[in-house]
Each structure stands twice: as structure tokens, then as C-alpha cells.
Chain A
Amino acid sequence: MTRTELKVGGLTGQGVMLCGALLGRAATVHAGLEACLIQSLGAEARGSACSAQLILADGPIGNPYVQAPDVLVVLSQSAFDLFIPQLKPGGLVLYESELVNPKDRLPQGARAVGVPATRFAEEAGRRLVLNIVMAGFVAGMTRLLPLAAMEKALLASVPRGTEDLNVRALNKGYQFALSNL
């Protein structure tokens, strides 16, 4: 059985939970996988650190906790600094390249790929969808979830009237990932 542990970290208001929930929904509802999502929130309403622990597996998930993420997704420098020590040896770091600088803190053997998700989101029409760009980027880089499954999960999740822009943001992140493989 394959089990992939992901941790998505950032600041509240960046849509960290929605990013994790979308990946989980795409996996369980549209890609035939099992998923487990645990949220961790800071005390403040906005701007505090938060994270989503997501496990994707092709069989039952016994331990729901992420011990050492295979994939660390970070939307803020503070999340990178906080979670990078937890990364599994040889793991993958996916980061917002205009908000996070891995500097020299990347563990040996780890791979890091950045995406200007905020800029892509602004180009798509709204900065608000940076988490959706990131979700597409994660799906594309990890190849864990097909784009069609992500699109279905997205369309079932986002508010009516926002679908087109969200799908564009998802595709932008996914296509950028494919160009980085």
C-alpha cells in the first residue's frame, strides 16, 4: 500500500485548509483513494500560522497523523521555517516563490520547487485564489491526482459565480507544475 503524507502550511486567510480539503476531496470522491485531513489553527483570526495535515493512500489509513511529510507545501516563510525540520529525508518542498525563501535551510537530498502563486492568482483576476493555484501545482508536481479529479472537486466546493476564475487558477498551477517536472 502506498501512503503519501502532505503538510500544507501558511497563514490564516491564505486558504490553507481549503487547499488541503480540495486535495483530499479530489482523492476520495474523484480518484478512488483514501484520505485523512487534520487542521491546526493559530489563536488569532487572521495572520497566524496554520497547517493542514493530509494523508493520501490507496488503502485504509490507520495512523491519521503526519509524522514526517513526504511533501511540504508552504505559503509563508514562517510556515517554512516551522515545518522544514519535519520533512522526510529526500522529501519535496513546494513553496510560494514570492513569499518564501528556502535560503540554505533545505535538508540535504530534499528537492524544492517554487511557484509564484500569488502573481498567477492576481493575473487570473483575484489574489484570493492563490491557494487554488497552489492546489493545482501540488497535484501536478506530485502526480498523485489527475487534473480532472481536481477540477471536479473544485467545482463542487467553491461558491457559485467563482467557478471559472477558480478553474483557471487551478489549471495555471497545474500547467506550471508540468513545465517544472
Chain B
Amino acid sequence: MGMDSFPEAIQLRDFWGLIITPLQAEDSAALQDFYRRMPEEDRQFMRDDVISGDWPAYFQRKLGDQGIVSLVAKADNEVVGEATLYRTLHGWTRHVGELRVSVDPGLRKKGLGTALCSSLVKVATDLGIEKIIVHVVDNQGPARRTFEKLGFKKEAVLPHHVMDISGTKRDLLVLANDVDQIWAAMEVMNQDYAPHLT
């Protein structure tokens, strides 16, 4: 899925008029408004201090150097969800991306997180990312099930790795999706042993 296939209109259960579109630098203020509407407890699990005054400039810089690729879901020009892929552009993990997703509390359990992740996984594949990882806290059951439906599998558990807002330490699960498997089928076709065209 190339960036030219966006904006993509999506329909959720009981909710219409949503589009998924790549985040532009000028959207960072709207994205920060979205984060400010999130419960503080949810923001604890985010990678950066997304409501700090320095965050929009930092995020724009990361967008500019392609260290992140971000899709946002918008309803009436308001950001109601986002999925971001963090990449390392050099070194031995340049084939790996880390995916993070956040959805407006009022739109959860309607399929928006799945739609955002699904689109971003396709974009990542197109960018040459071969493995995508996500971090899920052990009590985030719905998020874990969403990722597992998208093909993610548990690869590691980091015991007592995160501390929630009440000071309770929890295990952090690392789930991974080896998207390179998608291309394994193409490689088989190229083996030249009578490709089976469906």
C-alpha cells in the first residue's frame, strides 16, 4: 500500500465519515489535542511525553527525517486515532519497525485500531520493513488480541518492565509480525518450478 492510496475512507461499526490519512507535519498540533483528550493512564504507556510543549517540534523533526511514519484517523478534521511506525534508518535493526497505536476512548472496540494497524502494516511492508514489533502490557488483553489477529506473535516477556500510574509494575510483552513472510510466497513463485498462477 503506497502513500498515494490515501486518504482511505473507512467505516466502523456504528460510525461513519472516517478517513485514514498520512500525518503531515502541520497536523502535529491536532494530534497533540487528541493526546490531551486521552486518559492520563493511557498516556503513561506512550513512548514520549506527548503533551509537552516541545513535543510537536520534536515530532515534526522525526517526520521530516523519515524516522517515523504515521497514519491518523480523522472525523470532521479532528484526529480520533493514530498509528505510528518508528524506524531506525541505519544499523542492524534497520529492517525492524516498532508500531504504536492509540484510539479515542469513545471509538474503541469498533475496529478503528485494527484498521489503522492493518493499513500501517501494509505501508511498512512497502517501505521494505521486514519485521514489525509492538509492546503490549500484560493487562491490555483487547490490544493483544487485535495484534494477534493481524498476525503478531509473542516473542518475549520483560517481567516487571513497566510501572502504571498507581505504581504497580507489570510485564511487558513484545509481539512481532514477520511481514517478510508475505514475500516468501513470491520467492517460491520465482523458483521457476512451474509457478501456479491461481
Contact = CB atoms under 8 A, between A and B. Distances in A.
Contact of A21 (B122, B186, B195): B195
User: Which of B190, B191, B192, B198 has the most C-beta atoms of chain A within 10 angstroms of its own C-beta?
Assistant: B192
Contacts of B193: 17, 41
A129 B186 CA distance: 9
A31 to B, nearest CB: 16
Nearest to A46: B191
Given A25-B197, A46-B191, A159-B183, 12 more contacts: A18-B195, A21-B195, A21-B197, A39-B192, A45-B191, A50-B192, A128-B186, A161-B122, A162-B185, A165-B125, A166-B186, A168-B2
A162 B194 contact: no
B195 A17 contact: yes
B2 A15 contact: no
B179 to A, nearest CB: 8
Interface of B: 1-2, 5, 122, 125-128, 179, 182-183, 185-187, 189-195, 197-198
B192 A13 contact: yes
A36 interface: no
Contacts of B126: 125, 164-165
Dominant secondary structure of chain B at its interface with chain A: loop
Given A41-B192, A162-B182, A165-B126, A128 B187 contact: yes
The number of chain A residues touching the other chain, given as a range, is 20 to 34
Given A125-B128, A159-B185, A162-B186, A18 B198 contact: no
A76 interface: no
A41 B190 CA distance: 13
A16 interface: yes
